[in-house]
Structure 1
């Protein structure tokens, strides 16, 4: 409280002096924002003169920085002042950037500001107290900024409370100073309000004993709410009196102020608490009375302890940072990005570098210079990378080459501070040497790995070769102990499971010598002999495997020693090749060779048999003494024997085509009953000749199968033919067709000679026959059943044979898939009955076989046509020019020019271009037919010629000509 000057209390303080003594920057504004007063701290921080400020508008004195791209200081200050005018309440501004003019330039400053309204007794706004504190140096520290915002908020609250208490004090003061003049009252209210509103702790003491008569809220807060009004300094602060009373006494005695920026005082800041060291900023000034003597003292005291501690910590951090910055061996720099007119990164300026910068770049005195100045050829990708960091704020770690500097760098770049500053911090290190070492290390490792891979690959290849080798391989040491075996060896011997060595297993000689079949003694095994020094041993033995049951195999065994660098035998390698299949195959080949010889003997016999009657018949016809009946009989013999020989050749060709997959089936739906009837019809002459009783059993309903009628009839006729041939005279043959679910089974059973088990086992093999006897003189070539089996399998069926043994007869069962019942299609059979030709044709026959040519010509003449015969191709071309034949019957195997070329020339000649060309050849394979078609032939006949088919061809040709 302020004492009434009219009373006997202490005189009222000089508030103008109080305003001047406050160490906090203060400025007083009129409601129109004209500067009314400023104190010395404000002049100091504003960098302006008092005369240039008082009486002028605050925004004229402190304009915005024209170089600031986004100035906001004046606008935010104006908004705060307008709020104070409008609300009559204090307004605290957050830390603001407001640059200060120094001469013609501006310097960047940050401020903490409080604008406080000063009201008269009626509540009208008279002035605005503007308190501003320069916080530029602490702006970069986030922690200090947070503390500053907290302090500003607390001070704002304190000012608001002080304002309320000041209004209360003003009301009391108005009561006590009614007698004073209005001007003095206003002045006293003004300065008292100013004192109480100051956020700096302020107190007023009166008299030589320094009795407190006034303190503001800030002072009360600093003194921990001590009750000091009316007490002397010694009573209020007894633990600090010893240190500070001498200073107060000196001020009171001399009238000289005491100003200490940082003064150490040890006392208990809390009543009754422990004594501690505190540092204060002290601005203590004397208050003079009307007579010029010191009447009291005004104190402005701030506790700087926490602030100084924070500054100390900040300085310590800064020192540590600087020490670290200068001591690290990695280069560090702060750069400012520079852009071209299009806003693209074009250069950067070094703002700060450490000691290691030069060592890692080779660039000296870089601060303040751009990299383009120092290294004009610096690559653009560096500017692009740092430009992205500056614009996005995303740090980056990378390695890249700086060719202009001749170095490789490992870099970590990050944005610093305000994005508008475009500053980037770069921590980097020259890693060129490391990369060279790494490259060399990688190359060395690559070479080592390549060598290791080669060695490992060689080992794997060797292991793979060893394991993939078809022969069993076993490696032993010098004592015969098995060290390694491959898969083929294990498959060959089996696994005994008892650890026995190979040399102890069972074996017998199988070399065909006198010892063949005798068991091998342990010392006779090749492993033992190799270890004794025997060179390149080679044996054929029969072994018994460890399988269950044991299996015997014939093995070819060879061995070689393993020697060290001194030539000593350290082990043995033994190979064992299973030749069981080869031995059996050789035996089978011998059997096949024997059967082949037998087959050739039978083939010669079968071919000679019909040649004998054919030759005799030819001789009879040559005698010319036969009557017509004898001629017909002789011709019939020749025809029968030729058909027999043709059948033999057809069987041989069928077997060849079947085994090579060249048979093409003309599949259609057939009734098995009809197939049986046609087969019986073909074999009936042989059955009747041998006086066999034939019984046929067929079901009442159709038994449909899908197949080739000609081939299925051939199969069944073959089975009936075998039954008839191998059944003695007056035998019995039964053929039965049965429907068995989805199958049609046809059985041919006879009571003939039967088959031994070994013959039955290979009955369907090619060239397989039982032993021939004199009463089986008409036996075949041993290919019939093999052909039957192949044809049946082509139809998706099966055929099997059964016999109870020699003399017990045989049964052959044919099984084919059954198809749904449907009337079978009937194929048209060409009518081969002879008739007079519609037109006499001119036919040219060309064959180098004179007999074949003449007989074919005679047959064609017998059909009523004109025939010209030639035996060579060259003469045939000349003959064709003269005769102009309608049909040419050409052999293929001609000596001077083959039939293919002859056909091409005939086609090219206008005289014979439209002739019907017919190939007559012994070659009947599909590729042979393809060649004749390609050469221009219209038809292909296989020798011996099917005379009925030839007659039909000539008949149709004659009809076409007619």
Structure 2
């Protein structure tokens, strides 16, 4: 039974409402559908782009010679069409055309695209879903950060170059001072020339260059000082210069650092703000190195530079502020965010990663607490290797990657955006992710809605064709009707149900041509449906979710009757008005037949229980009467023998019924082990006839036996095969009126032997023949049930035949026309070597000595009766009802034989047997288990417990007499 179909959602609305931009293209790269988010992101209009070739709408920027967006996207789409797999692209620079009053200009944009295939019914890619994310802001921010870093590095390089030039100038001066000669004038000229070159060099660099003598008096400033401060350089102490030009907040720290440098003779380094000619302050990096007199070693000069680092300081402040904002955002966003460092092995393969930082949401969404500083292998040893491969790729290439994947070790799904963070020579990867485990179903629903949105983008006729292809493949009949009931669409399963010649319908009024009858076993069961009672009509009238069970007649020739379950739902427009109906019709004829068969089996079971009660009650009546007669105590010996015979016969009858039930149970549960040997099938027939001949002769039937002249050997269990044939003969004799004819025949056909039993009896109905070999099945009986039986014989016969690798069949032309049962068995080609020996019972021994027999049974009547039987056989009986009492008496009496019930209240028979075996006085006695459990496993359990023999209740008196006689005559 299938769930009634539900009205489909508005997939176009779902598609348009999706926040992620989506574009759908055909296999020829024409635009089939687009959602609102994509239109907004690309500044396009739906009607202007749908149906056009993708790259006519979005060409490369003609003003960018390096533009590669079209080529890269074409390559990705080709891979999807060729491989049928989704393709995730690296971040693409793909400028979009924007209409302006001056014409079309291209706006710089960066995108992260994913292309996913959609397959048609044949498995070919019919469409591609192009999903993008606009990452322009991220790329631009990354570029700005890179530019800022480059500027700072360049300024640092300039400062270094200036310092190097100063050092070179100092070295030049030192060399010139060291090379002084007596030619003082020449030396002075060279010094002046050197000083001139130094000043030219100092004035050529962008930094402020200054010198202070060993006493701490400023003696030189290059022209950059004047250009920046607007004040001519003058000789002055650093304290005065700092007080006049350095920002008041920085003055104290500056002088403290200068005094420390003067005292220690170490380099001077400080950052402070200097007032410009315009009156504003800018940050400068100030460095000075001491020059020591070669002779005395004292500091004679300080050479210093002041480098404008204001932009760098502002950038650092902005960076700190940005970092603060980042940290605030980092800690407050509901998405997980972490920074990891990839661990590579000696071959350069990513094998792990270490958490450098995580936000609170990261810890919540991964379940990994205190992860910072720890590796993923340490936190989750079974984490899949593909995560390391993905993050390693991002770290190596720097290409951001957006993906969804499952972390089985964490038992979660994640949506991850991974991108590289450049930090010196140790690139790290930042992860922005979200636990989407609970959203997978929603995502799957959205995926289906995306696919459905593709269908809605086509023209109505094409959509009907696709819907028809889906409906035709459905295993249930589906009909779509309009508001008047006219059939718009019907699938192949519907045509199969109703026949290809069905007339269709232009409206509800024409439903009268369709034949249907209520089949729901209600008061209307069997009544034909009126036109407005059909499911479609009632849906159009406003009934919600009808569910009907209807017998229909097809328009085939000849017509076919089926039982169908009909469900349906209305089709509504956007205002909720009913504009049509969708109806599903499921053929449940086989299920109805199965339910009928189940009911019949249940009925047969009830009949069997009734028959079992009857069959068990019948022998109880004469047994009860015999018991009453014996209770009177007035019967003579002849009457006692008559009474005893009645009881014995009825007990044998009841035992036979129980044995039949147990036999069926063992066979059907596969507990029967066949004792197979090579058998002459002719002898099997002879033995079976011998068993049934008394009944056949008593009913004055004429029996004909025909066997073939050629050998007919089978591999089987002689006892069971005789049981099969005798059962069939017995049924033929019972169900054929007296004086009838019975035929037993055998034919040999290649590798099979067929044994057939036919009669001129009451015959069988076709219905009975269909279930003849099922449990509890019986033909019609008269009220007196003269034939008896439980209806299990044929089921047992079939099971035994199948255990021999054969099969059985039945045929009857009807009531009063007799029946024929045929058994086929595999044939053995060669005769068995030698004749089969038959077991003969041993000759009875003489009367022997009188035995002492202890009977232990908590059922007083059963124990007493068994004791009477023992005494009647000429032996002494000791009757007890408790196990512990039996143990005590056994030490004194030391019986020869014990008859022990298994289900004793104080100690079961198995335990009692073990106790008796453990006593020296009773260790060698004969122990016989007496129980109502008579299956093979019960016998084996008794033997394992120490019993010598196992008797099933009621005890066979002849077998008991034989056992006692054998023990009495034993030496």
Q: How high is the TM-score relative to the length of structure 1?
A: 0.49
Greater RCO, CA 8 A, separation 6+: 2
Bigger Cα Rg: 1
Q: How high is the TM-score relative to the length of structure 2?
A: 0.49
